[in-house]
Amino acid sequence: VTLIAQYLKGERDAISVWHWGEGMTFAKPCVARPGEDRLQGADLIQGSRLAQRVVDRVGEMGKSGIQHGTWAGIHGFKPRADGTLQTPWGEGKWGVIPPGESEGKDRLFVDFSSAKHMVEDKEQAQSGAAGELHLTSTRCNDGETVTVIL
């Protein structure tokens, strides 16, 4: 539809909504973030089943001597209970996408290395070997999906 508006109807910049994925179907929940109020972010983490599973799993990992999980098969991914995280690509932050923006789904945001990601429990948080938590991440700018294992 935006191509028609841009090229047939002459609407200037009609296709610009497709820049960095904003026009993709998953874009609205993918780029939504809680407000700057840190208490709101903490409340969202407390109220999210998925976020609590991540926090619980990170605690289990620490007790078991597991230093980090993997992101797309690359070791060094470690979310912290305070909403910060460590990755092989640098520090970042994570939290809960506000319920009003996430189409009624329990979804997390993970931001690092200037990229926004949406993490979901597409397979009801499969538990793998030794209680591993398997999640799916969608990169917001291009829709690439990868597996996250904690």
Q: Give the least confident one: 52-66, 81-95, 121-135.
A: 121-135
2-29: pLDDT as tens digits: 666 666 777 665 555 555 454 555 567 7
Higher pLDDT pick, 4 / 115: 115
85-95: pLDDT as tens digits: 999 999 999 99
3-state helix/strand/coil string of the chain: CHHHHHHCCCCCCHHHHHHHHCCCCCHHHHHCCCCCCHHHHHHHHHHCHHHHHHHHHHHHHHHHCCCCEEECCEEEEEECCCCEEEECCEEEEEEECCHHHCCCCCCEEEEECCEEEEEECCCCCEECHHHCEEEEEEECCCCCEEEEEC
Using CA atoms, how far apart are residues 150 and 134, in angstroms rounded to an integer?
7
pTM here is 0.78
Using CA atoms, how far apart are residues 67 and 107, in angstroms rounded to an integer?
24
* Mean pLDDT in residue range 75-96: 94
